[in-house]
Structure 1
Amino acid sequence: MGRLIARLNAGLRVKIVIIASLLLTLPWFGYRFVLEIEKLLRQGQEQTLIGTARAIATALNERPALFSQQASFLPSVQHGRDLYVYDLPGSITIDGHLTDWPEDLDAKMHYYGRQYVRFSQRPYQQGQTDFYLITGRHQQQFYAAMKVKDQHTVLRRSNSHQVDRNDHLILALTTPQGEFQRYLIALEEGGQTSAWIITDELDEPNLFSPTNLMTAQWQPRQDGYSLEISMPLSLLGQRLSVSVYDVNHDTHRDVETIIGTANANTASDLGTVLLPSPEIERIVKGMGHSSSRIWVLDRHQRVLAQSGDIQHSDGVWATSVRYDEEDHGLGSWLDQHLLRPLYSTFLLSEPVPFQDKPANPALITGVNVDQALQGRGYAHWRASTDGKAMILSAAYPIWLNDKVMGAVVAEESTQGVQTLKNRALEQLFNVLLAIIIIAAVILFLFASSLSGRIRRLRDQAEQSIDAQGRIREAIIASSSKDEVGDLSRSLAGMVNRLGQYNHYLENLSSRLSHELRTPVAVVRSSLDNLSMSGLNHDEQRYIERAQEGIRRLGTILSSMTEATRIEQSLQGADMEEFTFNELISGCMQGYQFAFTERDFQVQVPERPVNITGAPDFLAQLLDKLVANAVEFSQPGSQIDVTLSQIGKFATVTVSNQGPLLPDDMADQLLHSMVSVRSQAHQDKPHLGLGLYIARLIVDYHAGEITIRNRHDCLGVTVTVTLPLSRTASP
């Protein structure tokens, strides 16, 4: 590579610029690095989400009471026959208009047509009579909404004793106590209905008895009518069927078609009804997993409980680092109007709003659900329903007596990870672009300066000798200490020696006799010239190393004398009563200006905390603790400083995020000459005197100081306890 560049027919500046162009590979390496970090983040998100599903499933394991009322013990479920009761966001006004049901009402309604015909006088024609049905609940009320297709609606006559000689519905159900009951809802004029309970007792004189436990309203439609039903949830057990009885002739009023979810004649023929479990939903919400969309399913993949919103489930923890802070400077303008559009066009894909709604909100399917219902936890990535985002879905089985009774499904989007990746790439590219531009400019200026010096040296060398080889003028030696300066001094010495030699040759005839008579003088002159030579490079390097050693020794002596000076000053310090709150607040304001790369979080009580001591030394104590926290934390991390009053003592804690203390080193750090700094922190000599000085100040004030790792294992906390003044109230 070096030979190829050397053979290149170009100037020094061009060659340096070509070499500097290798810096352009840094963005590519940075881009690959961020992509690898994104993979790690997604793997971590996957493991975390599986852990979330496992934690919730563990809370639901071996709890048969949660599933005994959910028809989860059935070997199979027939959709349409077995009904699902949706959890409604609010109460429903029973007016027959269906306007206050959820927007996705049509998607949730189940169609009942030819497959569900229970009786027909004539061969059933598709579309002759059918209906759509949805059931729901809110609080302690059960609701049903229907869209019935009926070409001719026959209503009950006013004051008629017959309630089944017209269009009507029959709801057959079992109560929570297991009793079989049937209710008839007859359509009347003006959208009104009447509800009747059907009695099958032989000694009952009337087959139909009016009841006010059930209310319903209907409204005409272009092809039939819509109907809303409401009744107390306490009437409904584990089985339910809804049947539509169609009457089309106004005179003989015979029932021509019966379409129902199940056979309504006996309790055993009814379909099951699944109510979302409020107890399971409370358990899920109580665990605080609001950052994920959670579903709890029974063994038939039906939803028992749901919590969370996928739009707020981006898989990223809350952070104090904000990426969208507005800045009105030139850099912000360039980033928003030039760099960010450029990145978005060629490198980045910004997350966009998306929709992800299951085709059937009551039935959750997927390969992860299938694996979980077979007893294995599983996670997989899938596209959202609109294809605009990737969704991570994890499922884990719920066990009961060594049998899988259901599954917990947790889902999150990758919007947060994608946003973090984009912000990281933007910042990385901005920094690398600035570094490349600055480095290119500096290298170009350096190459220009270097080539200019070389050209000047070339011109002096050409002008120093004439065409006959005589020395015309001396080369002015450069005072620079670099290689070009050495070359200049070497050429100057060479030209000087050539000049002397030429002068010697020119005067050889006149001086020959003198030189022969006095050879000793010639040797002495040569020895004198040799003694006048300057220091070489190795001697100069030894002197520089000695100077560096003296400087480090001076720093060490200054640090050692500081501890001695503190000890002597404490012996004559004046004690006074003052408010500790004001001292800490004032010092923290200075730290926030001095250490702008750290995020200081200060908490002091509003009530004055009075202590007796030396304010100057306590301020120096805070200086040592905060400086230590800053040194062992990363830029942008948070440092917490808290003052609290516990009984007769004031407690100050300084907590930072960073490396943890080694085992059995917490107490030793308070002694002199003890340090745990790694080689990366040894840019200057450290004798471990900072915490030792802090301990001297605390001991003088009759307090205690401790150093411990944080409970979350993310850093270290230093705690200082000082006694309150005698006049302070506990």
Structure 2
Amino acid sequence: MTLRRKLLLVALCTLALPVAGWLYVRQMETLLREGQAQALLASANAVARSLVVTGAVAPAPGRGWYVQQAPNPITVDGYGDDWAPLTPWSQPLGAHGKLLLAVDDDGLYLYADVRDTRRTRADADDANALAADHLILVLGNAEGRRRYLLASAAPGPLTARPLDPPVEGLPELIAAQWQEDGSGYRVELRLPHDLKLRTLGVGVYDAAAGGDRLAADTRPLLGYSDKLAGELAQLVPDRVQARVLAPQGWLLARSGRLNTMPGSDGQPGWFAALVYRSLLATRLEDANLWAQDVPRLDTREVAEAGAGQPVSVWRSGEERGSVVLAAAVPIEHAGQIGGVLLLEQASRSVPLLANRALFGLLLTSFGVLLVAGGILLLFATRLSLRLGRLRNAAERAQLNDGRLDGLFERGKFPMTDAPDEIGDLARSFERLFEVVGSYTDYLRTLASKLSHELNTPLAIVKSSLDNLEHAALPAEAQPYLARARDGAARLGALVRAMSESSRMERSILAAEPEDVDLRDVVRGCADAYRPLIGARRLDCTLPDAPLPLHCAPELIAQALDKLLDNALSFTPQDGWLRITLRSTPDGAEIELANQGPLLPAAMQGRLFDSLVSLRDKATPGDAPHLGLGLYVVRLVAERHGGIASARNLDDGSGVAFTLRLRGMPRQRLSG
């Protein structure tokens, strides 16, 4: 991974800033909501105590029958069409029935629907009426209570028969309608307003199931109270909707309406509302459970308040972007819970403030992130460029033979004057190359120095051996004299090779380039070699188009001479040689291939070093003779900005030496 990518990864750590900001805004939003919830709960408790003190809500022992407001006129016919709007809030009656109660200006209506597929029929006046399927209706007022029997042998109108003595204020006869089908029967009746009922009881008797024939579930009557709603309106704070509910959630009174109109701060857009619900207010109840015009609220919070536990909840508002805070507290008197007070307050300020804080923080964080990332990217780019310059300079400073190039020798190593750590590194490289350059120069001149110093003692040894030849020596000393002369000859050859190597290096460096067609140089060399190779075959392959190159043609010819001399040492008398000239994108390539033994793997990396050979003596046919000649080839290639290489042919028939040339630099005339 590059340094630039590493610094970019480090820059990504600044993403923790918007995450921390989001957590902070979310925590602040939670604290703000909790503060509002506590304030609304305190207001709800105060209103509930006021309702208890004024006696507006009395303790309700047990459960009651809830009487709904009839939304349309009801016709007493035994059918449930008129009751359809009220059916979702029907009350359970017995094991298989449901009960609906409604009131309007004409009176109190009762509709009972009993599911019973096995029927036992009898009229209310029959002697065995209590043994058949029937309903028991119980009416109670301040004077007492009275039971009535409702039974019919066939669909149609019926008259309820009283089972108890008369009670003042309660009717003697009650008219009703009885309808039935295969699934059960339905009873519908109307009671006048002037009965002033306090309790009402309804019992269902199934002859097939048995049980108490006169049993009835008697409860107090509950309903919406305009008087309670008026008192509630005087106690509730502004812009707050209040509802008084029975412990089971039935609506007893209501005051105020939720203010869902946009405030002075405007209305949140769909994206802001989505962000608020997704990132901040992740726990909002569904608004459908808290509808404003239903007679009963069946929610967990109302049930908890009905059990005596105050609770608050945030829910979604009916309008986009709004939220509603609801606080439910029990209305408790002398340890008995008479109902539940529910206060609801619409809020747009919380989402708006939270969204604005979140968006502002995110914009600031991402702005800081972009600036920090850009600064780090620029810093990483500049640092990478500086390190790249240092790397390129280090790679160019030293040539393949260990010598330093002219750029470094002129003291142009980059960034040595920088005051930072990269400058220290550049100065360290500079000192290192100075030491390496000095040592390389010493090694380069060592051969000429040794050849010069060895010439005098070598001449003394030779003259001494010459004098010994003229002296009378025993026969057994003659072999030692021959060996000494052979060793001196070999030492002399080595000294001459060292001197020749130094001279060739100087001559190659001093060669003057010119523009030539490289085809002419290679063709001329090939034509000159054919008379010298005997019976061997020499092929020369040249490109069709001219191949111009700015080079020293005499050096290239000298390199080809060395390659040919090396190839002739290993090519059989009837073998072949092949010279190929090719054009490359940056110059030219000359390849000399010959038939013969393959190169040893251990020698392929050292073929072009100076004075390298596998044998002490260059005996033809004994081993590859790789010495000073290939070193000259390497020097010529490097002088032309290229390299020299050797490889075994793919078919194993011989070896190929390649000379890659890019041309010599052109000299500028100083004016």
TM-score (norm 1): 0.41
Q: Specify the structure having the higher radius of gyration (Cα).
A: 2
TM-score (norm 2): 0.44
